[in-house]
Amino acid sequence: MVAYKITSTREELEQILNLQQKNLLKNLSEEEKKEQGFVTVEHTLGILQNMHDVQPHIIATHQNKVVGYALSMHQSFKNDIPVLVPMFDVIEKTVENSLNYIVMGQICIDKDYRGKGIFRGLYDKMKKEVFKNFDAIITEVDALNTRSSNAHKAIGFKELVKYESGGQLWELIIIETNS
């Protein structure tokens, strides 16, 4: 049985980083990237902890092992991860200043647990947690990551804009409390 909860321990954050390493773009074959999807940003334990301190991350666990995660990134971290600065710049140009949002900084599910509804479960839990304080969740997906793009659209995310950054095409997407 998979359980969904907010992060509360350093060990959980370390498990997130271990799962992230297994799914980083640079650590996967071309076939794995195409069939399974990938994550782009590599976090440090320090930044994950700082992000958690503002808004805890959402994790899926099975037998005390993190098998999936959705990272919560407040806009106050917009300059802390250089590769994400362009995304925040596009958000500022695209979204009304009055919108109180949080960025889902990355979502990942262990390969052995994919196709079991964990993606939807993570977002259901995230919405319950963050919609207490925020009106929307915004994220971006590499346009080549069709598995992730389709999964986000299937649970209600809408495209705000496509933009290019770092030689990649990105889809900036949003889901609001009324979705």
pLDDT in tens, 36-78: 767 778 899 999 999 999 999 999 999 999 999 999 999 999 9
Let me know if 72 is exposed, middle or buried by CB neighbors in 10 A (0-12, 13-18, 19+).
Answer: buried
pLDDT in tens, 4-48: 999 999 999 999 999 998 887 777 677 776 667 677 788 999 999
pLDDT in tens, 83-101: 889 999 999 999 988 899 9
Structure tokens at 159: 């495209």
Residue 35's pLDDT is what?
A: 67
pLDDT in tens, 129-142: 999 999 999 999 98
- State mean pLDDT over 97-117: 91
pLDDT at 2 over 80: yes
The set of long-range contacts for 80-87, using a CB threshold of 8 Å and a minimum separation of 24, is 80/47, 80/50, 81/41, 81/43, 81/47, 83/40, 83/41, 83/166, 84/41, 86/163, 86/165, 86/166, 87/140, 87/165, 87/170, 87/172
pTM of the model as a whole: 0.89
**CATH hierarchy code of domain 3-176:** 3.40.630.30
